[in-house]
Amino acid sequence: QVQLVESGGGLVQPGGSLRLSCAASGITFSAYVMGWYRQAPGKQRELVAVIRTSSSDNTNYADAVKGRFTISRDNAKNTVYLQMNSLKPEDTAVYYCNAKSVRLAASRLPGAYWGQGTQVTVSS
């Protein structure tokens, strides 16, 4: 059974930082592209960041978070992270972890497996 278990969300002040974690089980982690998505109230779910390896050459970021967020992975721990710095109120959303087989890497669609979502609230 595939599970993606997220942690690290919460309430933070503008300008603050959070680190989200997503621990995967039931998949061969190294064979999956990992991504973070987010969805704010009344808005579409959007891709935040994607990683294929720990190298920066294999990461992509949404323009809105570029320079502030960093995605990384630890294949030995089957875990992907999202370091979020300089947080803004507009970053407030539910953040979701996603796993996508490398066999489907050419597709623009997300992978089949999702975490439960973790709430990030940036507010004074």
pLDDT band at 6 (very low <50, low <70, confident <90, very high): very high
Q: Does residue 75 sit in helix, strand or coil? A: helix
Q: Is the dihedral of CA 58, 60, 66, 69 positive or negative?
A: negative
Span of 55-59, 75-79, 84-88, 104-108 with lowest mean pLDDT: 55-59
Which pLDDT score is estimated for 54? 58
Q: Are 34 and 47 in contact (CB under 8 A)?
A: no
Tokens of 111: 């992978």
- The pLDDT tens digits of the residues spanning 22-64 come to 999 999 999 999 999 999 999 999 999 999 865 556 999 999 9
